[in-house]
Amino acid sequence: MDEGSPAPGTKCVFCDIVARRAPAWIVYEDSTTVAFLDIFPFTRGHLLVIPKRHGARLTDIPFEDQMALVRTLDEVCRRAERLAPDYNVALNAGAWAGQIVFHVHFHVIPRYGESNPFRAGHRPPLSEPEARAVVAELANP
């Protein structure tokens, strides 16, 4: 197996986003990382931060990619603070931890004083007008 690629015959939607084979509302991109809107946001402005190199978990990618990921996480958190000063950062590693997409990612989830947004079954899909509005607020440095 190629290091940094999904297993042969395995589709990875986040690799597809990196390669522009799948659409995404991208708010940040550099040579090693991308950040985009979650399509089933827990709250307004829910973001995902990923390395371009495929790896299921943080511990599957090289140290340099981990560092680049955290640098982008910092940038994305600063931008998320435009929406709300408070937010959650989460990383689910493994199915029992709730991981659904097996390409490592941090969630950045702005919090607006709602009680518990982390309820399964309470995740309306991101609408295009909402996505456009959030990208307009976050895509600029």
Q: Please list the active-site residues.
A: 105
Instruction: Please give the torsion angle defined by the CA atoms of residues 91, 95, 97 and 100, in that order, rounded to the nearest 10 degrees.
Output: 40
Candidates 10, 40, 112, 136: give the one binding ligand AMP (CB under 6 A): 40
How many angstroms separate the most distant Cα atoms in the chain?
45
Candidates 26, 99, 111, 135: give the one binding ligand AMP (CB under 6 A): 99
Least CB distance to ligand AMP at residue 85 (A): 22
Candidates 7, 67, 101, 136: give the one binding ligand AMP (CB under 6 A): 101
In the three-class reduction of DSSP (H, G, I as helix; E, B as strand; rest coil), residue 33 is classed as strand
Least CB distance to ligand AMP at residue 105 (A): 6
- What CA–CA distance (Å, rounded) separates 109 from 41? 8
